[in-house]
C-alpha cells in the first residue's frame, strides 16, 4: 500500500498557520514520487477550551460533540494551542504567521475603519497557490474591507461569505437601528452575502439577515463539498479554508437544531457545529480523499464574555473556558488558550511532540501558537518566505528545537565573561579572577 507524504511547502504553510514545529504529521511514503496532500482547515468562532467533549465539555455541559471528539481522538490534540484574544488579531496571525500588530491588525476590524490586511503581507493561501494548490475560503475573513486585503486578492481562488470587513452579528444592524431609531437602512443597502473569484471585485449575492444567519453554515458546507469534488475531478490538490459561524453570538441555530441540547441556543449551535464538521468528514470519505487530506480544526479565540449572556434569553449564549479564567477580548488564559487538533489518517505525529493519555489518545502538551515561524521550523520544511520582522517564537528559538536538528550553542557569553551552560550551574569566571 502506498501512503502519501505531505510536501515540504504544504507543511511549511501549516507551520505558519498553526505553530507546529519541525515535524508535523509526517506519514510514510513511497520513495518513487511525493504526492501533495489536500488541506481542510475548519475554523470555529468563539469556542472555549471547555466546550468540546474531548476537552472536558460536550455531554458534561449538555451539548455532546461526538464527531469532533472522534476525529480529535484519531489525530493529534493540542492542549496548549495559544492564540490572540479576538477575531481579527487571531485570524491575521493565522494567515500571515506573524504577530497581528506587525500587520496593523491588533484591534478588531470594523466596516468603515482603516484596519485592513496590508497589501505587502504574504498569506499561507498565496504560498500554497504558488505550490500548485487550488484555494478557497467560504465564511468569515474579517481582515478588512479594502480591495487589496480581500480574500480574492490574498491568494484565494474563490470566496463566498459575509463582507470581508464584518463579523457574524452584523445582520443585526438594521433591526437594532430601527429599534433604537438611530438608523433606518433599507434592506438592500445593508450587509450582504458576497462572493468573488481571484482578482475580481466582490459581488453582492443576497441580503444578510437573521434567517440567512441560521442557515449560512450549511451553504458554506455545500460550497466546500462542491469545491473538493471539482478539484478531485481536475486532479489538483486543494486548500479549503472553512471559517464557520458556530459559535459566535448571537447563536441562531437552524430550525432542525433548535432545542437539541440541554443548555439553550448556544448548545444547539455547538451541536450544529459538530454536525457541520461531521458532514465535511463524510464528504472526504465519499470522495475517497480521507487518506490524502490533512484536516485541521481550531477555534479563533476563547468563548464570548458576559456581554453575550443576554442573547441567549433564559440560558447564557456563551461558551466555557474550562479550567481557565477569561473570555473573548481578555488578556487571561481562557481567552487565548483554545481547542485545536490535527488529523491525517493514517498519521504519525513526531514522537517528540506527542504522548498518549491513559485512554490511548494522542495529544501534544507542547505550546503551539498560530504565528510561530522560527528558524528550526523553516529550515527542515524549506519554507521560503521573505523576512520582514520576527515571528512569535524567534525570541525563544530553543523552546521547541529537536535534538539532532542542528548545532546548538551550549551557552551564551556574559558581558563580564561569564558563561552559563544549558544544563547545570557551571560558570566560567573572567580571566584573572579567582574563586
CB neighbourhood size of 368 (10 A): 24
How is the chain split among helix, strand and coil, in percent rounded to 5? 35, 15, 50
Task: Indicate which residue of 142, 192, 248, 374 is catalytic.
Answer: 142
> Is 142 considered catalytic here?
yes
pTM of the model: 0.79
Query: What are the structural domains, with CATH classification, of the chain?
Result: 36-362 (3.40.720.10)
Cα separation of 239 and 319, whole Å?
A: 29
User: What's the pLDDT tens digit per position in 139-174?
Assistant: 999 999 999 999 999 999 999 999 999 999 998 887
Which band of pLDDT confidence, cut at 50, 70 and 90, is reported for residue 367? confident
User: What's the pLDDT tens digit per position in 196-211?
Assistant: 999 999 999 999 999 9
Cα separation of 161 and 219, whole Å?
A: 9
Which band of pLDDT confidence, cut at 50, 70 and 90, is reported for residue 308? confident
Q: What pLDDT was estimated at residue 363?
A: 78
Q: What pLDDT was estimated at residue 33?
A: 40
> Is 192 considered catalytic here?
no
Comparison of pLDDT for 296 and 310, the residue scoring more: 296
Exposed / middle / buried, residue 127 (Cβ in 10 Å: 0-12, 13-18, 19+): buried
CB 95 within 8 A of CB 298: no
Cα separation of 67 and 281, whole Å?
A: 9
CB 367 within 8 A of CB 398: no
Which band of pLDDT confidence, cut at 50, 70 and 90, is reported for residue 339? very high
Task: Indicate which residue of 87, 192, 248, 374 is catalytic.
Answer: 87
Amino acid at each position: 500500500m502506498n501512503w502519501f507524504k505531505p510536501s515540504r511547502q504544504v507543511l511549511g504553510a501549516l507551520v505558519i498557520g498553526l505553530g507546529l514545529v519541525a515535524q508535523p504529521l509526517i506519514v510514510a511514503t513511497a520513495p518513487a514520487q511525493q504526492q501533495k496532500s489536500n488541506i481542510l482547515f475548519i475554523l470555529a468562532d468563539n469556542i472555549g477550551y471547555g466546550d468540546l467533549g474531548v476537552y472536558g465539555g460536550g455531554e458534561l455541559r449538555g451539548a455532546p460533540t461526538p464527531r469532533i471528539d472522534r476525529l480529535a481522538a484519531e489525530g493529534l490534540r493540542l492542549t496548549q494551542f495559544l492564540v490572540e484574544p479576538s477575531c481579527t488579531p487571531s485570524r491575521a496571525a493565522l494567515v500571515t504567521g506573524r504577530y497581528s500588530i506587525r500587520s496593523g491588525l491588533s484591534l478588531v476590524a470594523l466596516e468603515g475603519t482603516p484596519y485592513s490586511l496590508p497589501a505587502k503581507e504574504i498569506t499561507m493561501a498565496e504560498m500554497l497557490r504558488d505550490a500548485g494548490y487550488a484555494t478557497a475560503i467560504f465564511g468569515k475573513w474579517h481582515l478588512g474591507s479594502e480591495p487589496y486585503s480581500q480574500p480574492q486578492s490574498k491568494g484565494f481562488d474563490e470566496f463566498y461569505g459575509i463582507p470581508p470587513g464584518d463579523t457574524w452579528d452584523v445582520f443585526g444592524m438594521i433591526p437594532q437601528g430601527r429599534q433604537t431609531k438611530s438608523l433606518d437602512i433599507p434592506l438592500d443597502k445593508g450587509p450582504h452575502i458576497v462572493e468573488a473569484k481571484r482578482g475580481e471585485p466582490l459581488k453582492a449575492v443576497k441580503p444578510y439577515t437573521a434567517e440567512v444567519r441560521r442557515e449560512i453554515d450549511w451553504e458554506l458546507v455545500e460550497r466546500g463539498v462542491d469545491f473538493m469534488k471539482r478539484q478531485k475531478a481536475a486532479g489538483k490538490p486543494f486548500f479549503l479554508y472553512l471559517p464557520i459561524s458556530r459559535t459566535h453570538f448571537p447563536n441562531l441555530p437552524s430550525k432542525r437544531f433548535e432545542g437539541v441540547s440541554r443548555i439553550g441556543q448556544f448548545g444547539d449551535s455547538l451541536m450544529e457545529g459538530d454536525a457541520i464538521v461531521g458532514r465535511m468528514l463524510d464528504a472526504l470519505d465519499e470522495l475517497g480523499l480521507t487518506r490524502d487530506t490533512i484536516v485541521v480544526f481550531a477555534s479563533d479565540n476563547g468563548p464570548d464574555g458576559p456581554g453575550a449572556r443576554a442573547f441567549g434569553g433564559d440560558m447564557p449564549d456563551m461558551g466555557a473556558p474550562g479550567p481557565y479564567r477569561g473570555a473573548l477580548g481578555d488578556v487571561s488564559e481562557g481567552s487565548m488558550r483554545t481547542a485545536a487538533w490535527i488529523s491525517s489518517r493514517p498519521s504519525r505525529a513526531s514522537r517528540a511532540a506527542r504522548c498518549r493519555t491513559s485512554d490511548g489518545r494522542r495529544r501534544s502538551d507542547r505550546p503551539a501558537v498560530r504565528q510561530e515561524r522560527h528558524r528550526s521550523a523553516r529550515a527542515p520544511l524549506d519554507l521560503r518566505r521573505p523576512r520582514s520582522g520576527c515571528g512569535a517564537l524567534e525570541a525563544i528559538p530553543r523552546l521547541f528545537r529537536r535534538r539532532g536538528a542542528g548545532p546548538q550553542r551550549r551557552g551564551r557569553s556574559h558581558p563580564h565573561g561569564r558563561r552559563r551552560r544549558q544544563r547545570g550551574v557551571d560558570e566560567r569566571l573572567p580571566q584573572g579572577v579567582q574563586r
